[in-house]
C-alpha cells in the first residue's frame, strides 16, 4: 500500500505575524512547526506502511524552508518527502491549496490512500482534505478516529459524528482525515534523524506539476480576506485599600456603577 500524507506548516507560538498588505500570515523558518493534528496523520501513515509492507510519502506546500519540516517527517519514519514551492502558490486559500496538492499528487503517480489532519491550527477550516479528494475524484472519510481494517481495494474506519461514532467502508484509492487520539505519535529515532539529514527532498514548482497558474495562489483563491488584525488585550486593575469591610463596600459601589 502506498500512502501519501499531506502536512502543513503552522506558526509554532501564539505570536502570529500578519502581512498587512495582503492580509496573510507571515511564515518564517523560526516560527514554524508541523501542524499538531498532522502528527497523527504521519503516525498513521507510518504504521500502515509498516503493516502492509508498502511505502509512505509526505507532501507539503510552502516556502523552501518547509523542507526542514519534511525532514522531521522522515526522522519520524516516513520514507520520502516532496515539497511544492513556488511564488505562484503564495496566498492560496483552501481551494487553491487543494488544487496544487492534487496536481502534485498526480505527479507522484499511483497511490492507495491519502491521509490529512482534520484541520489546521491556524485556519481551522477542515476544508483542504475533502476539497483535495474532490479534485482527485476519489471518495473520502472525515474525522477518522480509528482504522479498523485495510485491504488492497478498501478501508473500513470509525469516524466521529455529532451523535457518536459511525463505521464507514470506502473503496480505494481514497482519502481520510484523522483526528487527535487516533494513535500516539512517536518521537524521532537517532538513526532516522541521520537518514533525514541526508535525504533528498525534491522541490516542485507549478510548472513541474503542470499546474494552471490561474488556479493557484491569490489568483486561484475565491476567498478574499478583506482585513485581519490581532485583537488588543487591555487589562485595567483597580486596587482597593482599607479594612476588609471598607474594601467590600468600595467593591459594591464600583460594581453598582457598572450596572
- Please report whether residue 173 resides in a domain: yes
**Sorting pLDDT into bands at 50, 70 and 90, what band is 249?**
very high
- Please report whether residue 234 resides in a domain: no
- Please report whether residue 103 resides in a domain: yes
**Sorting pLDDT into bands at 50, 70 and 90, what band is 258?**
confident
- Please report whether residue 112 resides in a domain: yes
**Sorting pLDDT into bands at 50, 70 and 90, what band is 231?**
confident
Q: How confident is the model at residue 35, as a pLDDT?
A: 94
Residues paired with 174 in a beta bridge? 113
Query: For 12-61, what is each residue's pLDDT tens digit?
Result: 765 555 665 655 555 555 578 999 999 999 999 999 999 989 999 999 99
239 vs 227, higher pLDDT = 239
Range of the domain at 190: 2-227
- Distance in angstroms (rounded) separating the CA atoms of residues 41 and 116: 6
- Distance in angstroms (rounded) separating the CA atoms of residues 205 and 211: 9
- Please report whether residue 205 resides in a domain: yes
Q: How confident is the model at residue 235, as a pLDDT?
A: 82
102 contact partners, CB below 8 Å, separation of at least 6:
132, 135, 136
Q: Flag the least confident range among 17-21, 75-79, 119-123, 166-170.
A: 17-21
- Please report whether residue 35 resides in a domain: yes
- Please report whether residue 244 resides in a domain: no
- Distance in angstroms (rounded) separating the CA atoms of residues 25 and 80: 28
Q: How confident is the model at residue 13, as a pLDDT?
A: 61
DSSP 231: P
* Mean pLDDT score, 107-127: 93
Torsion sign across C-alpha atoms 127, 133, 135, 137: negative
What percent of the chain has a predicted confidence (pLDDT) above 90? 74
pTM: 0.82
- Please report whether residue 241 resides in a domain: no
Instruction: Look at the chain and report how many structural domains it folds into.
Output: 1
Q: How confident is the model at residue 234, as a pLDDT?
A: 80
Q: How confident is the model at residue 236, as a pLDDT?
A: 81
- Distance in angstroms (rounded) separating the CA atoms of residues 70 and 253: 59
162 vs 96, higher pLDDT = 96
> What is the average pLDDT value for the chain, to the nearest integer?
91
Q: How confident is the model at residue 69, as a pLDDT?
A: 93
**In this structure, what CATH number is given to the domain that contains residue 214?**
3.40.50.620
Q: Flag the least confident range among 1-15, 18-32, 119-133.
A: 18-32
Q: How confident is the model at residue 233, as a pLDDT?
A: 78
Amino acid at each position: 500500500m502506498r500512502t501519501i500524507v499531506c502536512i502543513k506548516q503552522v506558526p509554532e507560538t501564539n505570536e502570529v505575524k500578519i502581512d498587512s498588505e495582503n492580509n496573510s500570515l507571515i511564515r518564517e523558518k523560526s516560527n514554524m512547526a508541523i501542524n499538531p493534528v498532522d502528527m497523527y496523520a504521519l503516525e498513521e501513515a507510518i504504521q500502515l506502511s509498516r503493516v502492509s509492507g508498502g511505502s509512505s510519502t509526505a507532501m507539503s506546500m510552502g516556502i523552501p524552508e518547509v523542507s526542514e519540516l519534511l525532514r522531521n517527517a522522515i526522522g519520524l519514519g516516513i520514507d520520502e518527502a516532496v515539497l511544492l514551492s513556488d511564488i505562484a502558490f503564495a496566498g492560496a486559500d483552501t481551494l487553491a491549496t487543494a488544487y496544487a496538492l492534487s496536481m502534485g499528487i498526480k505527479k507522484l503517480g499511483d497511490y492507495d490512500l491519502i491521509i490529512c489532519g482534520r484541520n489546521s491550527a491556524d485556519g481551522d477550516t477542515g476544508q483542504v482534505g475533502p476539497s483535495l479528494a474532490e479534485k482527485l475524484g476519489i471518495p473520502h472519510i472525515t474525522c477518522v478516529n480509528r482504522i479498523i481494517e485495510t485491504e488492497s481495494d478498501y478501508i473500513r474506519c470509525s469516524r466521529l459524528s455529532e451523535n457518536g461514532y459511525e463505521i464507514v467502508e470506502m473503496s480505494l484509492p481514497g482519502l481520510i482525515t484523522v483526528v487527535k487520539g487516533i494513535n500516539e505519535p512517536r518521537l524521532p529515532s537517532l538513526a532516522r534523524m541521520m537518514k533525514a539529514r541526508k535525504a533528498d527532498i525534491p522541490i516542485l514548482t507549478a510548472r513541474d506539476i503542470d499546474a494552471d497558474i490561474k488556479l493557484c495562489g491569490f489568483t486561484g483563491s475565491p476567498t478574499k480576506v478583506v482585513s485581519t488584525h490581532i485583537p488588543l488585550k487591555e487589562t485595567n486593575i483597580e486596587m482597593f485599600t482599607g479594612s476588609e469591610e471598607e474594601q467590600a463596600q468600595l467593591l459594591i459601589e464600583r460594581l453598582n456603577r457598572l450596572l
